[in-house]
Amino acid sequence: MKRILAVAANTYRETVRERVLYNLVLFAVLMTVSGLLMKQLSIRQDERIIKDIGLAAMELFGTLIAVFMGVGLVSKEIERRSLYPLLAKPLGRSEFILGKFAGLGFTLLVNVAVMTAGLYLTLAATHAAFDPNLLKAVYALFLALLLVVALALLFSALSSSLLAAVGTVILVVAGHFSDIIRNMRQVAPGTPDWLAHALYYAVPN
């Protein structure tokens, strides 16, 4: 466990050095501008639109971090040949992968927490009541981002950063269209039911 935590801490420091937290500034600007623009609407519309924009921005920035940081976690170590000395030490491959996953997962947790705080502050500026149900949506979003990290790590361990990014993005996009895949027969008549169901359960939702 100590070795996993050590790898996770080092991964977190690496991601911070690569300035991934700049997305928080962009998110804060987006939320502030949206709050100012929505003042002309009614309070109920104001709340709904700000929540939609906030969650969409959170998902977008979180996915970008998960993909473009995750695909380089293993492949960069291989390209720089810094992975081999690590594995020569008493550090198993599974511990290395779990540490990388935990480190980037913690980075995402910090990002999501700050962005959630920004969303609630923007809602408070419009005199909206505190909505605890919004935290449920944020929690589900964070779990989805962890799945993206896992996919990025998988492809990163098997291919280069470019191919890993392409493969991860394809699966993420396909996951957003999983309902269409399930109803593929309506789009492409003649498609076997077993194929549609197999693709639906194979693609992460």
Q: Phi and psi at residue 129, in whole multiples of 5°?
A: -75, 155
Q: What is the pLDDT of residue 86?
A: 60
For residue 28, the enclosing domain spans 2-158
- pLDDT at position 100: 82
Residue 197 placed within a domain: no
pLDDT at residue 78 in the model: 65
pTM of the predicted structure, to 2 decimals? 0.78
Cα–Cα separations (whole angstroms), residue 151 to 69, 91, 103, 180: 12, 22, 15, 21
Nearest Cα residue to 74 out of 100, 49, 48 = 100
Instruction: Give a yes or no: residue 136 inside a domain.
Output: yes
Domain assignment of residue 98, yes or no: yes
The whole-angstrom distance between residue 77's C-alpha and the CA centroid of its chain comes to: 21
In a domain, 191, yes or no: no
Total tally of structural domains belonging to the chain: 1
In a domain, 15, yes or no: yes
pLDDT of residue 62: 83
Instruction: Outline where the chain has alpha helix (H).
Output: 2-17, 22-37, 43-70, 72-79, 83-88, 93-125, 133-158, 161-176, 178-182, 184-187, 193-202
Do residues 49 and 41 lie in contact, with contact meaning Cβ atoms separated by under 8 Å? Answer: yes
Is-contact 123 47, C-beta < 8 A?
yes
Name the stretches of the chain with pLDDT < 70. 18-25, 27-29, 31-46, 75, 77-89, 91, 178-205
